[in-house]
C-alpha cells in the first residue's frame, strides 16, 4: 500500500516534470544539437535578426545565432548554426532575403554560381562565407520567384486534376491574374509617367503585360460557354495561346529588366511547362479523363493571385521599395 502510493506519487511527479522539461525544449524548437557553426559576411543584413531560419534548398537546416558588425566596421558578420552533417556546395554563399510576406527574413545557403547577379561580399578571412542581402528592389524578384513556384505547383496539379469545376476556378483565377496584371501595368505606366528615368524597357513590358492580360481574359471569357458545350479542347487551345503570350511577356521582361531576370526565367519555365501540359492534355495523352476534383489546384491559383495582389498593393503603397533603382 505504502509502496504503491510512493510509486504513484513518483510517477506523477516524473510525468509532470517530463511534460514541463520536454515540452519546453520541444517548444523552443528542439534540443540544440551539436550544431555546426558557420560565419558569413555581408555588406548589410536587411532585416535579418538572431533566430531567423537558415535554409538550404528550401529546407530549414538551422538558425541565425547572432548578427554583429565586423571589427573593422566594413561588414556585418552573421553567425549561423546549421546541422552538422549538412554538405555545402563548393562555392557556398549566403543570401539574406525575406522568408515570407510577413517581413521575417531568412538566410539561404546557395551555390554562388547560380546567383551571379547578387553582389556577395568576399570577406578577407578564412572560413567566412560570402553573403548578400537582397537589395530592396529585389523583393520584387523574390516575390515573383515565389509566385513562379506557386505556378509550378499549379502546373503540376494539372497533371492529376482537371475538372469542369477546376477549369471554372482556373478561369476565375486567370481572370484575376489578368485584372492584377492590368493593375500592375497601370501602376508601372503611372510610375513611368511620374519618373521619367524609368527605362523604356519597363514601359514596353508593361504594355505587353497588359496585352497579355487582355488576351488572357479574352480567352477565358468564353470558358463558360466552352464548358457548357464541353468544348474543352477549344478552351485549352485558347489557354495555350494565353500561355504563349505569357511566355512572350516573360521573355520580354527578361530582356528589359535585367534585375528581374532570374525570377522571370523561373516564371518562364513555369509557363512553358504549363504550356506543355496543356498541349499534352489537348493531344489526349494527359489525364483529362480522370477529372479529379482536386481543390488544391484552384487554391494554388487563388494563392498565386493573392500574392500578386499583395505585391500590387505593396507596390502601390511603397513604390520606392521596388522602383528606387531607377529613380534615386
Partner 1 sequence: MTNWLLGAFAFVGNRTVSGLQGMGRAWGLFLGATASIRNVDVWLPHLLPQMARVGVASVPIALFIATFTGIVMSLQASYTLTGAIPVYFVGTLVGKTMILELGPVLTALTLAGRVGANISAELGTMRVTEQVDALETLAYDPLAYLVVPRVFAAVFMFPIVVLLAIGIGIASGWFTALQLLDMSSPEFVKGLRLFFEPWDVWFAVIKSVSFGAVVTGVGCYFGLQTERGAEGVGRSATRTVVVASMLILCLDAFWATVLL
Nearer to partner 1, 6 or 125 (CB): 6
Q: How many residues bind partner 1 (CB under 8 A)?
A: 16
Asked if residue 218 binds partner 1 (CB under 8 A), the reply is: no
**What are the residues whose beta carbons fall under 8 Å from the beta carbon of 137, sequence distance 6 or more?**
259, 321, 322, 323, 324, 325
Query: Which value, in Å, is the radius of gyration of the alpha carbons in the chain?
Result: 25
Nearer to partner 1, 17 or 66 (CB): 17
Asked if residue 49 binds partner 1 (CB under 8 A), the reply is: no
Minimum CB separation from partner 1 for residue 177, in Å?
22
CA distance 228 to 170: 16
Helix axis angle, 138-160 to 295-317, nearest 10°: 170
Asked if residue 8 binds partner 1 (CB under 8 A), the reply is: yes
Asked if residue 122 binds partner 1 (CB under 8 A), the reply is: no
CA distance 84 to 274: 39
Nearer to partner 1, 27 or 228 (CB): 27
Asked if residue 51 binds partner 1 (CB under 8 A), the reply is: no
**What are the residues whose beta carbons fall under 8 Å from the beta carbon of 287, sequence distance 6 or more?**
159, 160, 162, 281
Of 28, 34, 285, 328, which lies in the binding site for partner 1, with binding defined by CB under 8 A?
Answer: 28
Asked if residue 117 binds partner 1 (CB under 8 A), the reply is: no
Nearer to partner 1, 35 or 101 (CB): 101
Write the DSSP string, 228-272. Answer: HTT-HHHHHHHHHHHHHHHHHHHHHHHHH-GGGHHHHHHHHHHHH
Contact 294, 169 (CB under 8 A): no
Minimum CB separation from partner 1 for residue 30, in Å?
10
Asked if residue 50 binds partner 1 (CB under 8 A), the reply is: no
Which part of the chain contacts partner 1 (CB under 8 A), choosing from 18-26, 48-56, 261-269, 305-313?
18-26
Which part of the chain contacts partner 1 (CB under 8 A), choosing from 15-23, 51-59, 68-76, 153-161?
15-23
Nearer to partner 1, 30 or 289 (CB): 30
Nearer to partner 1, 244 or 306 (CB): 306
Contact 305, 176 (CB under 8 A): yes
Binding site for partner 1 (CB under 8 A): 5-6, 8-9, 12-13, 15-17, 19-20, 23-24, 27-29
Amino acid at each position: 500500500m505504502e509502496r504503491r502510493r510512493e510509486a504513484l506519487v513518483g510517477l506523477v511527479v516524473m510525468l509532470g516534470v517530463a511534460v514541463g522539461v520536454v515540452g519546453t525544449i520541444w517548444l523552443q524548437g528542439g534540443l540544440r544539437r551539436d550544431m555546426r557553426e558557420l560565419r558569413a559576411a555581408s555588406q548589410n543584413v536587411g532585416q535579418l535578426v538572431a533566430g531567423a531560419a537558415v535554409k538550404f534548398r528550401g529546407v530549414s537546416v538551422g538558425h541565425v545565432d547572432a548578427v554583429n558588425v565586423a571589427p573593422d566596421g566594413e561588414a556585418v558578420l552573421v553567425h549561423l548554426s546549421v546541422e552538422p552533417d549538412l554538405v555545402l556546395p563548393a562555392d557556398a554563399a549566403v543570401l539574406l532575403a525575406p522568408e515570407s510576406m510577413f517581413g521575417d527574413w531568412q538566410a539561404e545557403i546557395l551555390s554562388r554560381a547560380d546567383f551571379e547577379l547578387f553582389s556577395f561580399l568576399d570577406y578577407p578571412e578564412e572560413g567566412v562565407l560570402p553573403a548578400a542581402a537582397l537589395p530592396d528592389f529585389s523583393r520584387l524578384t523574390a516575390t515573383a520567384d515565389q509566385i513562379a513556384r506557386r505556378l509550378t505547383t499549379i502546373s503540376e496539379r494539372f497533371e492529376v486534376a482537371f475538372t469542369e469545376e477546376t477549369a471554372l476556378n482556373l478561369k476565375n483565377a486567370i481572370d484575376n491574374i489578368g485584372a492584377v496584371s492590368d493593375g500592375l501595368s497601370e501602376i508601372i505606366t503611372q510610375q513611368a509617367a511620374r519618373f521619367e528615368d524609368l527605362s523604356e524597357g519597363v514601359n514596353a513590358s508593361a504594355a505587353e503585360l497588359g496585352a497579355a492580360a487582355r488576351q488572357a481574359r479574352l480567352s477565358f471569357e468564353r470558358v463558360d460557354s466552352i464548358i457548357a458545350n464541353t468544348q474543352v479542347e477549344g478552351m485549352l487551345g485558347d489557354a495555350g495561346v494565353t500561355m504563349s503570350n505569357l511566355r512572350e511577356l516573360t521573355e520580354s521582361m527578361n530582356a528589359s529588366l535585367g534585375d528581374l531576370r532570374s525570377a522571370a526565367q523561373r516564371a518562364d519555365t513555369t509557363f512553358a511547362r504549363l504550356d506543355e501540359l496543356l498541349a499534352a492534355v489537348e493531344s489526349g495523352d494527359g489525364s483529362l479523363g480522370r477529372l479529379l476534383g482536386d481543390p488544391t489546384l484552384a487554391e494554388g491559383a487563388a494563392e498565386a493571385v493573392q500574392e500578386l495582389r499583395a505585391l500590387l498593393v505593396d507596390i502601390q503603397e511603397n513604390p520606392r521599395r521596388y522602383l528606387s533603382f531607377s529613380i534615386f
